């Protein structure tokens, strides 16, 4: 099952339409499969997709229990990325995805700092 979903997500990524896919149960494990297949450059795209989906409550992340469970399934950098995206979207509604590209860099290189910034922004307003 993971193999078929990995094939699907890899094809969507190659077409540049990954962001249109709704995450499903098990996609966290598919992330690992894609990384094994193609390496880190794919992982970065999939991580960004998962972080955005988690922040925006898309797909199976609509369910609060699934969002909570993601903490055990996703890396600290993906979780920090999602938390920071969620807070920035709350504070700056309508911010363009391109405007928030820096969040992935911060979350990847300094996940603890990104998480701390998200927590601080939660207190704002």
Give the pLDDT of the chain (125 residues) as one tens digit per residue: 688 998 999 899 889 999 899 999 999 888 888 888 776 667 788 899 999 999 999 999 999 999 999 989 999 999 999 999 999 988 888 888 778 888 888 888 888 998 899 989 888 75
Q: How far is CA 78 from the centre of its chain?
A: 5
pLDDT attached to residue 36: 83
H helix or E strand, kind and range, residue 62: none
Q: Where are the domains of the chain?
A: 2-123
pLDDT attached to residue 41: 65
pLDDT attached to residue 81: 92
Model pTM score = 0.86
């Amino acid at each position: 099952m993971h193999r078929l979903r990995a094939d699907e997500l890899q094809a969507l990524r190659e077409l540049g339409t990954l962001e249109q896919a709704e995450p499903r149960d098990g996609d966290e494990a598919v992330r690992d499969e894609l990384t094994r297949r193609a390496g880190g450059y794919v992982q970065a795209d999939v991580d960004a997709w998962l972080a955005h989906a988690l922040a925006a409550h898309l797909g199976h992340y609509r369910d609060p229990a699934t969002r909570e469970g993601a903490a055990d399934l996703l890396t600290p950098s993906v979780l920090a990325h999602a938390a920071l995206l969620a807070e920035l979207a709350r504070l700056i509604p309508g911010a363009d995805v391109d405007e928030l590209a820096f969040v992935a860099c911060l979350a990847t290189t300094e996940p603890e700092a990104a998480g701390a910034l998200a927590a601080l922004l939660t207190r704002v307003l």
